[in-house]
Amino acid sequence: MVLFVLICVISRLLPNLELTRWVSMQQEMGVKDLVKKFNSIIFRLKKSPVAGKDASTLCRSICMGNEVEEYSRIKMVFILLFAFLCSVNAQFLDEHFEIVQTFDLNSVGQVQYIGANQKQQLFVGDLLQPKVFMFSPDGKMEKVIGGKGKGPGEFLSIGGLWIFEDTLFVLVRVGLRITAFAPPEYDVSFTIDLNLINGKLPTPAGDASLALGIGLNGLWKTSRGFFITYGSPYSPANLQKAHELEMHLVNKDGKVVTTTPLFKLQDKEMFVIRKGKSFMVGVMPLGVVPIIQFYNGKFYWLNNNNTSINVTDGNGNLVRRIPLPLLQKVKVHHSVLEEMFSLYGYSRKYSLLDFKRQGVTFPEYFPYIVNFIVDGDLRIWYATYTEKGRQYSWRIVDEDGKLIKQFILPRTIVFIYSKGEYVYALQMTEEGIAKILKLEGNF
């Protein structure tokens, strides 16, 4: 009903625009773009004699269908449009999901990866601090695990986290160790030292971009030991070589079990800028990213420019390939590339032109896949980019790649984790990640 009223009011405010054209416009434009457009109009009109029009007169004009000056008309449209975008999000979630619980992340800098135990306590790894935040099933923060440092139970860099038999395992990249935190208090239980594998370091799959919301994880625990992804750090000797992630099995004592990797995939795409004898390496905006999920003893993995998901067992045997339907190439809009450039933090020192002068070639098309998860029914949920990258088109397919459900969500909502009958989504604000939604779908 609210949605209908909003559309009716906006149609009165925009008598010279077809409603269908307006709906199409709002789907393609993010709130940030609307703010910029609105501000530019305000700059041109702020000396208008109607700029001081009082609210009561404006409301009477709208309700009675009288002519409304351009300034007031645009201002009201913007307010209603913002409410419309929010109501669309809420309406879709209300129709297709039950929000079981909301976890506010006011203390979390940036979500790296999440996990849940059998009691439905939620563990959120923080990429920036680095710490692990533990939340109760009712959404309250119970404890902060770890902290920045080199001591027992402390981290300088988290390479991943995993819950196994309700014990929290954290991969500590700087220090090469795995630290276990046992229930119920989740204090430090024991530590396992790790070694390099052929000069490679533990390297999580995923992407640290705030725009994507893809978790960085490189640790999975089973009864056999620990599965860890390893990659090569960049050096002057390998700048021009292809970088790969390798999946290896490490036993409970930290010794490598696999002589050859269970599988390999391309590591996240980077760009290199040289300056004299020094060089800078950064993550390529909208570049190739490895995505790995683990469910029921099997790995589901791909690079985001692939059109199918590989399913591998714990011995490295390929079980199946799941084709992903309805994939298409979507050209990258320049404004989106600029936004991604800013989100990665590059714009603080460089411009896109600076990078192009150095020979850096940015992607012409979006990658096929944004992210995917595997749910309790072994269905694949994957997101693709829509035109201009302002929204994600989500598809749910079975193990044979047969389409079950398709829907569109704004890119402020990204599914990142599944446990049992629940899926977990990040809901982000323009400034960053705001909350985690624990959801139960009705399809």
Tell me the pLDDT tens digit for each residue of 244-288.
Answer: 999 999 999 999 999 899 999 999 998 888 777 788 888 888 899
Spatial CA neighbour of 222 closest among 118, 297, 171, 172:
297
CA–CA distance, 67 with 166 (Å, rounded to integer): 64
Domain ranges of the chain: 2-95, 194-441
pLDDT tens digits for range 216-233: 899 999 999 999 999 998
DSSP calls for 330-397: -BPPHHHHHHHHHHTTGGGT--HHHHHHTT----SB--S-SEEEE-TTS-EEEEEE-GGGSEEEEEEE
Q: Coil, helix or strand for 40?
A: helix
CA–CA distance, 89 with 9 (Å, rounded to integer): 19
Spatial CA neighbour of 3 closest among 65, 95, 99, 68:
95
Confidence category of residue 436, pLDDT binned at 50, 70, 90: very high
CA-angle at 278, arms to 273 and 279, nearest 5°: 25
- Contacts of residue 222, defined as CB under 8 A and 6 or more positions apart, other chains included, come to 164, 297, 314
- Residue 137 is inside which H or E element, if any? none
Given a cut of 90, is residue 61 above it in pLDDT? no
- Contacts of residue 406, defined as CB under 8 A and 6 or more positions apart, other chains included, come to 326, 393, 394, 395, 396
58 phi, psi to nearest 5 deg:
-60, -45
E-assigned strands of 105-258?
111-116, 122-126, 131-135, 141-145, 158-164, 167-172, 177-182, 187-193, 201-202, 219-222, 225-231, 244-250
Tokens 């999580």, residue located: 204
Confidence category of residue 441, pLDDT binned at 50, 70, 90: confident
Average pLDDT over residues 327-338: 88
CA–CA distance, 133 with 150 (Å, rounded to integer): 18
Which tokens belong to 123?
């563990």
Given a cut of 90, is residue 133 above it in pLDDT? yes
Average pLDDT over residues 7-13: 44
Spatial CA neighbour of 112 closest among 130, 133, 123, 127:
127
Spatial CA neighbour of 121 closest among 171, 163, 169, 172:
163
Given a cut of 80, is residue 434 above it in pLDDT? no
- pLDDT attached to residue 24: 39
Given a cut of 90, is residue 396 above it in pLDDT? yes
Given a cut of 60, is residue 56 above it in pLDDT? no
Confidence category of residue 124, pLDDT binned at 50, 70, 90: very high
Is the backbone of residue 68 left (phi > 0), alpha (psi -120 to 50) or beta? beta
- The pTM for the full model equals 0.80
- pLDDT attached to residue 23: 39
Q: To the nearest 10°, report the CA torsion of 12, 13, 14, 20.
A: -60
CA–CA distance, 149 with 131 (Å, rounded to integer): 10
Mean pLDDT of the chain: 80
pLDDT tens digits for range 82-121: 444 444 555 666 677 899 999 999 999 888 899 999 999 9
CA–CA distance, 273 with 234 (Å, rounded to integer): 12
Q: What percent of the chain has pLDDT over 70?
A: 76
80 phi, psi to nearest 5 deg:
-70, -35
Of 368 and 352, more confident: 368
pLDDT tens digits for range 164-178: 999 999 999 888 999
- pLDDT attached to residue 341: 82
- Contacts of residue 260, defined as CB under 8 A and 6 or more positions apart, other chains included, come to none
Of 39 and 335, more confident: 335
CB atoms within 10 A of CB 106: 7
